[in-house]
Amino acid sequence: MTWVRRGLRVAIWLLVVIGIGFGLYAMLRNRPQDLPWTKLDLGEPVGVFTGRKLVGLHDNFAACRVLLRQAGVRYTMLPPVKRGETCGYADSVRFERGGSQAIDYDPRSVGVSCPVAAGLAMWEWNVLQPAAAKHFGARVQTIEHYGSYSCRRIYGRSAGDWSEHASANALDVAAFRLSDGTRISVLKDWNGGGEKAAFLHEVRTGGCKLFATVLSPDYNAAHRDHLHLDQASRGEMGWRACR
């Protein structure tokens, strides 16, 4: 079994070298968010391991709430919901006006799991607003959506895996309204070319750094009219699905 021991030694050395490489990269660029062992800070730019750290918030609701408060996000905790053995949530929040979030969610009654809320906040600051300024010289004011919590299986089937929506761990985004009155629709503008299509593709790709699963019209016909964003507590699509 000498070859097995040699293989293990090589693998260990590779991991050490990779870890040192990440450390040097982060220190040289003064980017602690690029290291896997540093604490998550929602106010920092997106790092290499930010997405994994956001998903890890499923294990600590209290820490997730603290991160939202530290970033200036105002929210209301929602009462727990329980429906059978598969549906419900105990860690959902709703954004409130007056905090660092500038976007209004229409309808505002949407409640999402805390890790999704943290991802949405960072998505706004690091992806949505820069993309809107770049393509339109405006700001995103409203996100239109199809909701979050829905006690159902994937695609509403009668059998199979349960959707992330069954635990309010996903949001389906349908359109964006900008400060200059422009409306950008996933259904109408994804394949339309021009600035609207470029904006939509850019915010989809940017979301892939912050959410475990991002599905768009490029994935299948079921997503022709929305972007599905989730944090994969159920492993619905596996890690880092970006389509």
Structure tokens of 29? 């660029």
More confident residue, 243 or 30: 243
Instruction: Decide if pLDDT at 131 tops 50.
Output: yes
pLDDT digits (tens, 9 = 90+) for 222-237: 999 999 999 987 544 4
* In a domain? residue 32: no
d(CA 114, CA 19): 30
Task: Please name the helix (run of DSSP H) or strand (run of DSSP E) that holds residue 68, with its range, or none.
Answer: helix 61-70
**Residue 12 belongs to some domain of the structure:** no
How many domains in the chain? Answer: 1
Q: Give residue 74's pLDDT.
A: 94
| 23 in a structural domain | no
Q: Identify the bridge partners of residue 196 per DSSP, sorted by sequence position.
A: none
> Percentage of the chain surpassing pLDDT 90?
69
Q: Which domain holds residue 168?
A: 47-242
- Given a cut of 60, whether residue 238 has pLDDT beyond it is no
Q: Cβ–Cβ contacts within 10 Å for residue 19, how many? A: 13
Mean of all residue pLDDT scores within the chain:
88
CB distance 151 to 83 below 8 Å: yes
162 lies in some domain: yes
In-domain check, residue 55: yes
H/E stretch holding 104 reads strand 104-106
Separation between Cα atoms, residue 91 and residue 79, nearest integer Å? 9
Say if 71 falls within a structural domain: yes
Range among 10-19, 88-97, 179-188 rated most confident: 179-188
What does the pLDDT read at residue 35? 84
Q: Roughly how many angstroms between the first and final C-alpha of the chain, as a whole number?
A: 42
Q: Is residue 61 a part of any domain in this protein?
A: yes
Task: Tell me what pLDDT residue 214 has.
Answer: 97
What is the pLDDT confidence band of residue 28, given thresholds at 50, 70 and 90?
Answer: very low
* 16 in any annotated domain: no
Contact 64, 115 (CB under 8 A): yes
| pLDDT at site 33 | 82
Q: Which region among 33-47, 66-80, 200-214, 224-238 has the lowest average model confidence (pLDDT)?
A: 224-238
